[in-house]
């Protein structure tokens, strides 16, 4: 598949290209951003086609509820989340955000938004304890943490020990004191 205006493929075409990759002699763009260089390009292609397309994200939970986002919708929503990260969350390029979310659509939006803004994402499993969260916050010097209602009490119990943590984002239908609600910000 062709991904940009120079019609150069990103996947090696023959065996000799694999050797170039292993010797680190591959042509790599000076600046590459997955969100803008790939996702936005597919969004533009999808928009120009003006027809039905394959979903960019198709999420189904354990209850059978599903959510389908086109490339255009995923690009638009990730831009909104990127604005949320750089606006109310005051994150800048190379700042770190600890994301402790189950595999829900918001996890993907945050991942793409972090790529878009240059914020470093530190993914964490939802099985982390308060002590685990504290260790990760201190070791990474993360300025922001994003989680759900389930782990918010654990974060609150250790937040005072983590001097770098400035912003706490919650993915929830309800609000919580001293937390910014992602749904409300969007």
Q: In this predicted model, what pLDDT tens digit does every residue of 25-49 receive, in sequence order? A: 656 677 888 888 888 888 888 888 7
How many Å apart are CA 4 and CA 33, to the nearest integer? 13
**pLDDT tens, position by position, 109-166:** 999 999 999 999 999 999 999 999 999 999 999 999 999 999 999 999 999 999 999 9
Answer yes or no: pTM beyond 0.85.
Answer: no
**pLDDT tens, position by position, 154-165:** 999 999 999 999
Kindly list the distances between the CA atom of residue 58 and the CA atoms of 45, 79, 89, 106, 131, in Å, as whole numbers in the listed order.
19, 19, 28, 13, 34
So what's the pLDDT on residue 10? 53
So what's the pLDDT on residue 26? 58
pLDDT above 50 (res 60): yes
pLDDT above 70 (res 19): no
For the chain, list the domains and their CATH numbers.
34-185 (3.40.50.980)
pLDDT band at 83 (very low <50, low <70, confident <90, very high): very high
Q: Where are the alpha helices (DSSP H) in 1-129?
A: 15-22, 34, 40-49, 71-86, 105-117
């Amino acid at each position: 598949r062709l991904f940009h205006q120079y019609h150069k493929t990103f996947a090696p075409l023959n065996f000799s290209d694999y050797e170039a990759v292993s010797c680190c002699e591959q042509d790599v763009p000076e600046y590459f951003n997955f969100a803008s260089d790939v996702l936005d390009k597919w969004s533009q292609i999808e928009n120009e086609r003006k027809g039905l397309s394959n979903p960019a994200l198709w999420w189904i939970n354990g209850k059978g509820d599903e959510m389908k986002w086109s490339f255009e919708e995923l690009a638009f929503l990730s831009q909104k989340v990127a604005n949320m990260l750089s606006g109310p969350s005051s994150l800048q390029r190379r700042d770190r955000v600890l994301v402790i979310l189950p595999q829900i659509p918001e996890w993907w939006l945050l991942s793409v938004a972090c790529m878009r803004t240059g914020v470093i994402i530190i993914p964490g499993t939802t099985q982390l304890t308060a002590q685990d969260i504290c260790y990760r916050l201190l070791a990474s010097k993360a300025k922001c943490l994003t989680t759900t209602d389930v782990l918010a009490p654990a974060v609150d119990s250790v937040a005072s020990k983590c001097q770098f943590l400035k912003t706490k984002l919650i993915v929830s239908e309800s609000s919580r004191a001293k937390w910014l609600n992602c749904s409300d910000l969007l």
